[in-house]
C-alpha cells in the first residue's frame, strides 16, 4: 500500500498538517502574528463595521432572552452529523458508482486507464458547497439566538457577522486550493501503483498489490481531508455555542 512520507512536525490545524503530508511539502510556522495577518485580510470598510460593532450602542435584549435549552446543542449536533454522513457517503460511493468495483488483475490496466480525478474533484467541490451552506445557515441562527440575550451578547453576534463577511472570501479562496492538492496526491498514488504492477509483471510476481488498492487509499485520504475541513469550518459555530452556554 502506498503511503506518503513523514514530514517535519508542524503544530498548525489538522487540515494543514494533513495536506502537507499528502502533498509531500514542508510547511513552516508563520512568523506573522494573528493580528498582522488579519490586517491584510480585512478590508477597511470591514474594519469600520467591526469598530462600530465593538463600540456602538446595540439594542437591549428582550425579556426572557437568557434562557438556553438543549435546542441549539441538538441542532448543532444534527447539522454536524448530517455533514459527516454526507462526507462518508460521497467520498466512498460516488466514484465507485461511476467506475465500478475493483477488477481482477487481468483487468487492472483497463480499469486504471478509465479512472480520472475530475470525478473526485467534483465530489469534493460539491461537499465544500454543502458545508458552506449548512454551516453558514447554522451560524446565522446561533447569532440570532445570541443577539436575543444581552447587549454584550448582541455585540458579540454583530462582531461575528462582520468577521464572517470580511473573512469568507479569503476562506473560500484558500479552501478552493484543496482539490488541486488532492489531485496531485491522486496522481502520485496511481503512478506508484502502475510502477509496482509493472515491476511485478516483469518479475512474474503473483503477490502484486490488487488493482484498485491505491484508489481505496485515496478515498480514505480524501475523506480525512474533508473531515478536517469540516472541523475547521465548524470552529465559529463552536465559539457561538460556547457563548450561548454562558450565564
What pLDDT does residue 163 have? 86
Mean confidence (pLDDT) of the chain:
78
Choose among 205, 191, 158, 192: nearest CA to 53: 158
Inter-axis angle of helices 151-175 and 34-41, nearest 10? 80
pLDDT, position 71: 87
Closest CA to 6 of 18, 21, 17, 19: 21
* Intervals of the chain under pLDDT 70: 1-11, 27-69, 91-114, 200-211, 247
The pLDDT assigned to 118 comes to 94
Q: What is the pLDDT of residues 139-198, one digit of tens each?
A: 999 999 999 988 888 888 998 998 898 889 989 999 999 999 999 999 999 999 888 877
Q: Which residues have CB under 8 Å from 60's CB, separation 6+?
A: 150, 151
Amino acid at each position: 500500500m502506498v503511503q506518503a512520507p513523514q514530514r517535519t512536525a508542524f503544530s498548525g490545524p489538522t487540515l494543514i498538517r494533513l495536506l502537507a503530508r499528502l502533498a509531500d511539502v514542508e510547511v513552516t510556522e508563520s512568523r506573522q502574528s494573528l493580528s498582522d495577518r488579519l490586517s491584510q485580510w480585512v478590508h477597511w470598510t470591514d474594519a469600520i463595521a467591526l469598530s462600530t460593532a465593538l463600540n456602538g450602542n446595540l439594542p437591549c435584549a428582550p425579556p426572557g432572552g437568557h434562557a438556553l435549552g438543549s435546542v441549539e446543542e441538538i441542532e448543532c449536533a444534527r447539522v454536524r452529523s448530517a455533514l459527516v454522513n454526507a462526507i462518508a457517503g460521497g467520498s466512498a460511493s460516488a466514484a465507485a458508482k461511476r467506475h465500478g468495483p475493483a477488477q481482477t488483475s487481468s483487468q487492472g490496466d483497463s480499469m486504471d486507464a478509465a479512472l480520472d480525478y475530475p470525478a473526485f474533484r467534483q465530489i469534493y467541490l460539491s461537499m465544500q458547497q454543502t458545508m458552506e451552506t449548512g454551516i453558514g445557515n447554522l451560524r446565522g441562527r446561533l447569532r440570532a439566538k445570541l443577539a436575543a440575550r444581552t447587549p454584550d451578547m448582541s455585540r458579540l453576534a454583530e462582531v461575528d457577522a462582520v468577521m464572517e463577511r470580511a473573512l469568507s472570501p479569503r476562506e473560500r479562496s484558500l479552501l478552493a486550493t484543496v482539490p488541486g492538492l488532492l489531485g496531485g496526491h491522486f496522481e502520485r498514488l496511481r503512478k506508484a501503483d502502475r510502477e509496482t504492477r509493472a515491476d511485478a509483471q516483469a518479475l512474474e510476481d503473483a503477490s502484486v498489490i490488487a488493482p484498485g488498492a491505491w484508489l481505496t487509499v485515496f478515498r480514505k485520504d480524501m475523506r480525512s481531508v474533508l473531515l478536517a475541513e469540516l472541523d475547521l469550518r465548524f470552529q465559529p459555530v463552536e465559539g457561538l455555542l460556547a457563548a450561548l452556554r454562558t450565564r
